[in-house]
A = this chain, B = another copy of it.
Amino acid sequence: MISFDQFQMQDGSPIYQQIIEFVERGIIAGTIVSGDEMPSRRVLSALLGVNPNTIQKAYKFLEDDGIIESRSGAKSYVTANSKMQKQLRTKLLTQDVAVMVQNMKQMGISREEAVSLIKTAWKDEVKK
């Protein structure tokens, strides 16, 4: 049974997307693996204090992307294999990085300065 203890809702993006990303990043990090059991919609709904429909929406998306598998009446399980893990990793990473690089170029930032900013931000994150 995968744990949602580390999950914390934030404002700004839809709840169902936050749940999707939580699972996706968990898979990338290796803390969620194929065969793991998902909490039932009702249980997770109660756990997060969120409407069951919102959970259903997130699960549906994950199912459509082949990350989990659901059958009516039965529990839901993670099905993401290592190939998917790599795909997810690449997808999210390149997406994040590309956006940032594009923005920086538009601002006339040099490559060296960009790298320097990353390193600084990295340290600040650690301190938190």
Identify the A interface with B (CB < 8 A).
6, 11, 14, 25-26, 28-31, 51, 64, 71-74, 89, 92-94, 96-109, 111, 114-115, 117-119, 121-122, 124-125
Closest 9 CB pairs of A and B: A29-B108, A28-B107, A25-B106, A101-B121, A97-B121, A25-B107, A97-B117, A111-B122, A100-B100
Q: How far is B109's CA from A121's CA once the two chains are assembled, in angstroms?
A: 14
Complex contacts, A51 vs chain B, CB 8 Å: 73-74
The prevalent SS among residues of A at the interface is helix
Complex contacts, A106 vs chain B, CB 8 Å: 6, 25-26, 29
Complex contacts, A105 vs chain B, CB 8 Å: 125
